[in-house]
């Protein structure tokens, strides 16, 4: 049963889409923000995300608990992060090349182990209905919020607070901004980066588990369709701030819902173009906020593609 | 004698004395330091003089534990110690302010200070830290904004913060590596006066590396001079004249004197009118209202770093597009493209030439050939003429005395002075009508400085218009015909060099007028 709410459906669908679609972006981009703040780029998060989706789904199916699946996804993500961080510690290793290798490796491994789990149905992560006050089913649908979304927002605030107010946070920023200064302070730069990458991997694993255990809510090989890579790009757009990462993810999720929403209210002409809205929006905002003459003050100084 | 290395939980409360005995440091066959013994009593202000490569940094690096000396002993407060690594030196109360900055650019001053402490708590209570910091700052003779990312501070402010950091950490023996090279004379006096005050009060001992005799005579108690890795002399500053110290430093060597200034008069070569561009932060505007440079004249632009000189250089070199106004060379609009620069014979010598005017991994010969590789006497060339390149490079390397292992070595393997000479050789070859220079002698030694200044003066005498942007006021005073002072992105003051008054220039540099 649906109530016809006309054009109001569009902003509602965008809001619902923003909340549903943004969650994996929030986790992956905050994870990548932590890694990049420590001075490394981990492009392998796409592979970590896919493997997290697969392993989370498989473990949830066998244990019959979505939460155990989530933990497993985080654990495997951590392992992927540790592998990336450990290999990058070796001399003359380029973090971007390793990231690309791990991206392909992670996806391949997930497809290999994931074949038997395409059919079975695993338990889902719970959602909280924040739309109880409304009789309109579309409103209720839009405001069914998964617990991971709330955790993601809390994570953004916590990560931002940590970077400013704790020794760990300042240490990560020092390691990412000037390895020389970090060594002068007696900080083991490689260790900081190893664990920052591991934490980033664990968060990406959680993002993957959200995909397979909530939305879309099943495991298949096309589940990520590049979301892990987009999340890495979002970090640059968010200027390495965890809170901005959450905003950027919401914006991206909302824009992604524009196409289906317009289609559902009967706009048939060129709605495929609206499917490209998130990419166009990101590109436009990146161009608008960049400058050839101003220094990008917030970029961690140690990030580099040549090492 | 390792037992003295146990950690001291609290830094010593009084100034430390320090002595090196027969310090020797060999790197393979090369002896960087030979049998150097110096004695710095507690509470004294000691200066280490010497040319580049004389072994000053090697000596202080041995003291600070970056190097393990091949032979020799170090005594701190009468006890023989072995400093295995910089941490151990810090635990003894030894600290160092480096020539390059060790602050973390994206952290604020407050964050930099707090994270540098050995005992940072896991959760930082900013309210309490802030209180402690303001109590600490209240006793300091100068202030630094605490809440701005350090990357946005000017070089002078960063240097102050470096010093504040050492004091904040409670260091009682401080090594300063040319701390005033980025400061105005009055700032330098203020900084050194404060260090002097701390040493006289017995709170601090200071060992300063310096090239500036003025600072030595004004502030130091004692001086030690190194030459080619050996102790060349020293003693109480009151017993020595500047000439004595210079003689110890250079030994028997003839300095290249600045070429004499000859009378010239010429047409306006460079003109900037109402030229506006945003600065590197994008929040402020650099505005050059009216700037003219005539043929055969050196116009010096003085100023503290961070007041828009870097942006001015970028505007002139076409790296920073203008929002308004224009640049004219020989009365023609000029946008600093390569073809325009070639047509009007405009040459550049930017600061940090290895970064801004070279391809570091390409060879010396290739770097010297950058101006001519695609043209021969005005005609375009498609193929690179390797033979002509080698011949030209060999000639210029000889003429400008660039010390390099071979023409095929990467230019990054050369020392700073030799990179500067190589770039100067490239830029001054052929006809030059306009030369734009920024900080040409930054970090170079005595004889290299004199030689490079002589080359600039010779270019002027032969009718080149020279715009010299420099943070070294002595350099501006020595070379310029006219002096402009840049402050907060604008030309704040102009005076002919002949009647210039240092006090007045300093006032405008500091922005008080």
Buried b (16+ CB within 10 A) or exposed e, B391-422: ebbeebbeebebebeebeebbeebbbbbbbbb
Do B214 and B265 have their domain in common?
no
In a domain, B353, yes or no: no
Contacts of B127 in chain A (CB under 8 A): none
3-state secondary structure of B120: coil
Rounded-to-integer distance, Cα A272 and Cα A283, Å: 18
CA distance B221 to B231: 18
Would you place residue B437 in the very low, low, confident or very high pLDDT band (cuts 50, 70, 90)?
Answer: very high
Answer whether A186 sits within 8 Å of B87, measured CB to CB: yes
Query: Chain A: residue nearest B111 by CA?
Result: A170
Q: How many residues does chain B have?
A: 513
- Enumerate the H helices of B65-201 as residue ranges: 86-91, 109-116, 126-138, 155-168, 185-200
**In this predicted model, which residue has the larger pLDDT, A222 or B262?**
A222
Longest dimension (CA), chain B: 74
**CB spacing of B106 vs A298 below 8 angstroms:** yes
pLDDT at residue B7, as a whole number: 40
- Three-class secondary structure of residue A227 per DSSP: helix
Give contacts of B120 with chain A, Cβ < 8 Å.
Answer: 167, 170
How far A293 CA sits from the closest chain B CA (Å)?
6
| Burial annotation A197-210 (CB, 10 A radius, 16+ → b, else e) | bbbbbbbbbbbbbb
Question: Residues B180-205: what's their mean pLDDT?
Answer: 81
Cα–Cα distance for residue pair B184/B503, rounded to 1 Å: 11
Calculate ∠ Cα B378-B384-B389, nearest 5°: 80
pLDDT digits 0-9 by tens, A122-171: 999 988 888 888 888 878 888 889 999 999 999 999 999 999 999 999 99
What percent of chain B has pLDDT above 90? 36
On whether residue B24 sits in a domain, the answer given is: yes
Q: Which residues contact B491 (CB under 8 A, 6 or more apart)?
A: B288, B289, B290, B291, B301, B484, B485
Tell whether B228 and B216 lie within a shared domain.
yes
**B115 and A CB contact within 8 Å:** yes
Q: What is the pLDDT of residue B250?
A: 67
B386 shares a domain with B238: no
Mutating which of A293, A294, A300 best tests the B interface, going by the most B Cβ atoms within 10 A? A293
- The pLDDT assigned to A139 comes to 82
Which residue in this structure is represented by tokens 């002072």?
B485
B30, exposed or middle or buried, with CB in 10 Å at 0-12, 13-18, 19+?
exposed
- For residue A33, list chain B residues with Cβ-Cβ distance below 8 A: none
Average confidence (pLDDT) over A226-250: 90
User: Do B491 and B373 share a structural domain?
Assistant: no
Greatest mean pLDDT range, A204-208, B10-14, B75-79? A204-208
Interface check for B337 against chain A (CB to CB < 8 A): the answer is no
Neighbours of B201 (CB within 10 A): 10
- For position B400, what pLDDT does the model report? 86
d(CA B181, CA B443): 8
The bridge status of strand B465-469 relative to strand B285-294 is unpaired
B380 contacts chain A (CB < 8 A): no
- Residue B270's pLDDT is 94
Please provide the average confidence, as pLDDT, over all residues in chain B: 85
Tokens for B457? 């003066």
> A6-289 has which fold?
ABC transporter involved in vitamin B12 uptake, BtuC (1.10.3470)
- Chain B residue at shortest CA distance from A297: B106
Q: What is the distance in angstroms between the Cα of B320 and the nearest Cα belonging to chain A? A: 6
pLDDT at B5: 40
| Mean pLDDT in residue range B466-470 | 93
pLDDT-derived band at B2 (thresholds 50, 70, 90) equals very low
Could you tell me if B281 lies within 8 Å of chain A, comparing CB atoms?
Answer: yes
Where a domain ends, among B405, B430, B455? B430
Confidence band for B174, pLDDT divided at 50, 70 and 90: very high
B462 domain-assigned: yes
Q: Which of B103, B122, B321 lies at the smallest CB-CB distance from A181? A: B103
Could you report the per-residue pLDDT of B281-322, keeping only the tens digit for each?
677 889 998 999 999 999 999 887 678 888 899 999 988 889
Distances (CA, A) of A221 to A52, A53, B191: 12, 10, 65
Which two three-digit tokens encode residue B403?
A: 């010390």
Domain that holds residue B383: 359-430
List chain A domain ranges: 6-289
User: B417 and B450: one domain?
Assistant: no
Residues B408 and B480 in one domain: no
Provide the number of structural domains found in chain B: 3
How high is the pLDDT of residue B190?
79
Q: Report how far apart, in Å, the C-alpha atoms of A160 and of each of A157, A240, B242 are.
A: 5, 10, 56
- Relative orientation angle of helices B185-200 and B155-168, to the nearest 10 degrees: 10
Q: How deeply is B100 buried, as exposed, middle or buried, from its count of CB atoms within 10 A (0-12, 13-18, 19+)? A: exposed
Q: Which residue has the higher pLDDT, A85 or B217?
A: A85
CB A219 within 8 A of CB A114: yes
Sign of CA dihedral B313, B319, B322, B327: positive
Tokens of A76: 């495997």
Cα–Cα dist A61/A122, whole Å: 4
Least confident range of A190-194, A270-274, B109-113, B496-500? A270-274
Residue at which a domain ends, from B250, B283, B304:
B250
Domain boundary among B430, B455, B476: B430
Q: Residue B254 phi/psi, 5° resolution?
A: -95, 130
Minimum CA–CA partner of B65 in chain A: A184
Q: What digits encode the pLDDT tens for the residues B78-97?
A: 999 998 888 889 889 999 98
CATH number, domain with residue B315 = 3.40.50.300
Amino acid B255: pLDDT? 46
In angstroms, rounded to a whole number, what is the distance separating the alpha carbons of residues A211 and B349?
A: 56
Q: Which residues of A touch B123 (CB under 8 A)?
A: 165-167
CA pair distance B356, B419, nearest whole angstrom: 11
Nearest to B398 by CA among B431, B357, B364, B446: B364
**A297–B115 C-beta distance less than 8 A:** no
* Confidence bin at B8 (pLDDT 50/70/90): very low
Give the sign of the dihedral formed by CA B413, CA B417, CA B422, CA B427: positive
Cβ-Cβ contacts under 8 Å, A294 against chain B: 278, 280-282
Q: What is the pLDDT of residues B116-148, one digit of tens each?
A: 887 889 999 999 999 999 998 887 767 788 888
Q: Which residue has tokens 């710095």?
A: B40
Q: Which of B270, B321, B304 is nearest to B476 (CA)?
A: B304
Interface residues from chain A to B (CB-CB < 8 Å): 165-168, 170-171, 173-174, 177-178, 180-182, 184-186, 291-295, 297-298, 300-301
The DSSP secondary-structure symbol of B413 reads G
Per-residue pLDDT, B348: 93
Interchain pair A294, B321: CB under 8 A: no
Give the pLDDT score at A296: 63
Instruction: Summarize the confidence of residues B492-512 as an average pLDDT.
Output: 80
To 10 degrees, what angle do helices A95-114 and A45-63 make?
30
pLDDT of residue A104: 95
- The mean per-residue pLDDT over the stretch B365-376 comes to 88
CB-CB under 8 Å, A294 with B120: no
B282/A293 Cβ within 8 A: yes
pLDDT at B206: 94
Q: Does the residue B399 lie in any domain?
A: yes
Q: How confident is the model at residue B484 (pLDDT cuts 50, 70, 90)?
A: very high
For residue B305, the distance in angstroms to the closest alpha carbon of chain A comes to: 17
Q: Are strands B346-349 and B434-438 parallel, antiparallel or unpaired?
A: parallel
Phi and psi at B217, nearest 5°, equal -70, -30
Residues A279-288: what's their mean pLDDT?
Answer: 81
The answer to whether residue B52 sits within a structural domain is: yes
> Are the beta carbons of A137 and A226 closer than 8 angstroms?
no
* Residue B147 contacts A, CB cutoff 8 Å: no
- B244 with B266, same domain? no
| Chain A residues close to B320, C-beta within 8 Å | 293
Is it true that the peptide bond before B124 is cis, omega within 30 degrees of 0?
no
Q: Which residues of A touch B116 (CB under 8 A)?
A: 185
Residue from the list A165, A166, A185 with its beta carbon closest to the beta carbon of B116? A185
Going by C-beta distance under 8 Å and a sequence separation of 6 or more, which residues neighbour residue B123? A165, A166, A167
Tell me whether B266 touches chain A (CB under 8 Å): no
Q: Which two tokens stand for residue A20?
A: 């549903």
Q: Identify which of B86, B87, B278 has the shortest CB distance to residue A294.
A: B278
Q: Is the pLDDT of residue B509 over 80?
A: no
ipTM for this prediction: 0.83
CB atoms near residue B500 (< 10 Å): 20
**Cβ contacts of B130 on chain A, cutoff 8 Å:** none
User: Which has more confidence, B307 or B457?
Assistant: B457
**pLDDT at A163 (0 to 100):** 94
Neighbours of A51 (CB within 10 A): 31
CA B7 remoteness from chain centre = 35
Specify the pLDDT at position B472. Answer: 76
B226/B119 same-domain check: yes
Interface with chain A: mutation pick from B104, B114, B149, highest number of A CBs within 10 Å: B104
Distance of CA A270 to the CA centre of its chain: 29
* Helix count and strand count (H, E) for chain B: 17, 22
Task: For residue B327, give the nearest of B273, B382, B394 by alpha carbon.
Answer: B273
3-class SS of residue B252: coil
Q: Are B294 and B467 in contact (CB under 8 A)?
A: no
**Among partner residues A182, A293, A300, which is closest to B278 by beta-carbon distance?**
A293
């Amino acid at each position: 049963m649906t109530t016809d709410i006309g054009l109001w459906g569009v902003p509602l669908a965008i809001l619902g889409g923003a909340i549903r679609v943004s969650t994996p972006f929030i986790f992956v981009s905050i994870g990548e923000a932590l890694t990049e703040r420590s001075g490394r780029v981990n492009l392998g998060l796409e592979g970590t995300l896919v493997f997290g989706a697969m392993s989370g789904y498989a473990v949830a199916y066998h244990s019959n608990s979505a939460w155990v699946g989530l933990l497993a996804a985080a654990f495997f993500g951590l392992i992927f992060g540790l592998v990336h961080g450990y290999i990058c510690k070796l001399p003359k290793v380029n973090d971007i090349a390793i990231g690309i290798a791990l991206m392909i490796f992670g996806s391949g491994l997930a497809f290999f182990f994931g074949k038997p789990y395409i059919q079975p149905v695993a338990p889902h992560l719970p959602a909280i209905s924040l739309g109880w006050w409304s009789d309109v089913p579309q409103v209720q649908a839009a405001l069914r919020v998964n617990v991971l979304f709330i955790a993601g927002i809390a994570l953004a605030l916590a990560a931002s607070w940590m970077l400013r107010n704790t020794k760990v946070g300042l240490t990560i920023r020092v390691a990412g901004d000037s390895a020389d200064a970090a060594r002068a302070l007696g900080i083991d730069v490689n260790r900081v980066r190893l664990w920052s990458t591991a934490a980033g991997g664990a968060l990406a694993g959680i993002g993957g588990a959200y995909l397979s255990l909530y939305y879309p809510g099943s495991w298949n090989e096309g589940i990520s369709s590049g979301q892990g890579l987009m999340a890495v790009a979002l970090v640059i757009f968010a200027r390495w701030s965890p809170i901005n990462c959450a905003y950027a993810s919401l914006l991206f999720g909302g824009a992604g819902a524009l196409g289906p929403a317009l289609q559902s209210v009967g706009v048939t002409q060129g709605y495929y173009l609206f499917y490209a809205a998130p990419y166009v929006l990101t590109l436009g905002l990146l161009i608008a906020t960049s400058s050839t003459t101003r220094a990008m003050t917030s970029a961690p100084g140690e990030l580099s593609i040549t090492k | 004698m390792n037992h003295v290395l146990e950690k001291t939980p609290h830094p010593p409360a009084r100034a430390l004395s320090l002595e090196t005995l027969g310090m020797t440091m060999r790197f393979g066959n090369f002896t960087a330091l030979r049998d150097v013994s110096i004695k710095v009593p507690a509470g004294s202000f000691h200066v280490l003089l010497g040319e580049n490569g004389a072994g000053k940094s090697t000596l202080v690096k041995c003291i600070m534990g970056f190097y393990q000396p091949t032979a020799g002993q170090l005594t701190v407060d009468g006890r023989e110690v072995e400093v295995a690594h910089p941490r151990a030196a810090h635990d003894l109360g030894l600290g160092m302010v480096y020539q390059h900055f060790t602050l973390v650019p994206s952290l604020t001053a407050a964050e930099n200070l707090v994270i540098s402490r050995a005992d940072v708590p896991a959760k930082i209570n900013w309210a309490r830290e802030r209180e402690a910091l303001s109590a600490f700052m209240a006793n300091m003779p100068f202030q630094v904004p605490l809440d701005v990312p350090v990357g946005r501070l000017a070089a002078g402010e960063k240097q102050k913060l470096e010093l504040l950091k050492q004091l904040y950490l409670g260091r009682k023996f401080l090594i300063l590596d040319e701390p005033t090279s980025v400061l105005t004379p009055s700032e330098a006096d203020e900084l050194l006066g404060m260090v002097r005050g701390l040493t006289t009060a017995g709170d601090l001992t200071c060992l300063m590396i310096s090239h500036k005799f003025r600072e030595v005579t004004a502030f130091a108690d004692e001086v030690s001079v190194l030459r080619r890795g050996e102790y060349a002399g020293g003693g109480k500053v009151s017993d020595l004249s500047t000439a004595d110290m210079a003689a110890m430093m250079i030994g028997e060597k003839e300095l290249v004197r600045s070429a004499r200034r000859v009378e010239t008069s010429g047409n306006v070569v460079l003109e900037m009118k109402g030229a506006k561009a945003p600065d590197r932060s994008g929040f402020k505007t650099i505005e050059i209202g009216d700037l003219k440079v005539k043929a055969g004249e050196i116009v010096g632009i003085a100023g503290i770093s961070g007041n828009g000189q870097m942006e001015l250089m970028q505007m002139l070199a076409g790296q920073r597009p203008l929002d308004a106004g224009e640049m004219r060379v020989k009365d023609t609009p000029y946008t600093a493209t390569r073809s325009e620069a070639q047509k009007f014979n405009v040459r550049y010598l930017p600061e940090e030439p290895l970064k801004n005017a070279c391809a570091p991994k390409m060879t010396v010969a290739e770097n010297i050939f950058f101006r001519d590789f695609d043209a021969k006497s005005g005609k375009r060339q498609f193929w690179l003429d390797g033979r002509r390149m080698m011949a030209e490079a060999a000639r210029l390397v000889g003429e400008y005395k660039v010390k390099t292992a071979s023409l095929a070595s990467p230019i990054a393997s050369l020392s700073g002075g030799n990179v500067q000479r190589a770039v100067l050789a490239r830029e001054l070859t052929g006809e030059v009508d306009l030369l734009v220079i920024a900080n040409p002698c930054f970090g170079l030694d005595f004889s290299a400085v004199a030689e490079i200044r002589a080359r600039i003066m010779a270019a002027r005498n032969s009718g080149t218009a020279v715009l010299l942007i420099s943070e070294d006021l002595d350099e501006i005073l020595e070379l310029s015909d006219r002096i402009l002072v840049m402050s907060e992105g604008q030309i704040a003051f102009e005076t002919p060099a002949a009647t210039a008054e240092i006090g007045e220039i300093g006032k405008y540099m500091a922005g008080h007028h």
